[in-house]
């Protein structure tokens, strides 16, 4: 089975712009979660989607949004980028929920200048 894929792998944006990141889960996995990883804060949960519905949400501002399509692929969007949004954004998929283990993609490295 192919693993979780994320595109693009690297991205450079300027403050005020918006960005869309994409994630394709492992075939058959219906749950997709997004995380932000920074050296100071570690892995922070953004949101989780299951069957096209947002099931859980972390403590991030409304500039961070996501969606899931009928084929379980997911996108996350960050509007009005700030310097502090520079991070590694990770997507993880699992069969039903993440409590039995999640499978991560390689991440998208976002740099905001």
Partner 1 sequence: TQLLEQSPQFLSIQEGENLTVYCNSSSVFSSLQWYRQEPGEGPVLLVTVVTGGEVKKLKRLTFQFGDARKDSSLHITAAQPGDTGLYLCAGALASGSRLTFGEGTQLTVNP
Q: Can you tell me which of 19, 21, 92, 112 binds partner 1, judged by CB under 8 A?
A: 92
Q: For partner 1, which is the closer residue by CB, 17 or 58?
A: 58
- Measured CA to CA, the distance from residue 108 to residue 3 in angstroms comes to 15
**Burial of residue 103 (number of CB atoms within 10 Å: 0-12, 13-18, 19+):** middle
- Measured CA to CA, the distance from residue 15 to residue 96 in angstroms comes to 36
68 contributes a contact to partner 1 by CB under 8 A: no
Is the separation of the CB atoms in 94 and 103 below 8 Å?
yes
DSSP 3: -
Q: For partner 1, which is the closer residue by CB, 18 or 38?
A: 38
Q: Can you tell me which of 11, 13, 22, 58 binds partner 1, judged by CB under 8 A?
A: 58
78 contributes a contact to partner 1 by CB under 8 A: no
Q: Under the rule (CB under 8 A), what is the footprint of partner 1?
A: 4, 33, 35, 42-43, 45, 48, 55-56, 58, 90, 92, 97-107, 109
């Amino acid at each position: 089975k192919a693993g979780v894929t994320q595109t693009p792998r690297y991205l450079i944006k300027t403050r005020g712009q918006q960005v869309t990141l994409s994630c394709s889960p492992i075939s058959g996995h219906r749950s997709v979660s997004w995380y932000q990883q920074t050296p100071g804060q570690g892995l922070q949960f953004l949101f989780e989607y299951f069957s096209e519905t947002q099931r859980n949400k972390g403590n991030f501002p409304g500039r961070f949004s996501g969606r899931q399509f009928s084929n379980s692929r997911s996108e996350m969007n960050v509007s009005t980028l700030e310097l502090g949004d520079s991070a590694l954004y990770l997507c993880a998929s699992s069969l039903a929920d993440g409590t039995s283990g999640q499978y991560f993609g390689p991440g998208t490295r976002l740099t905001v200048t």
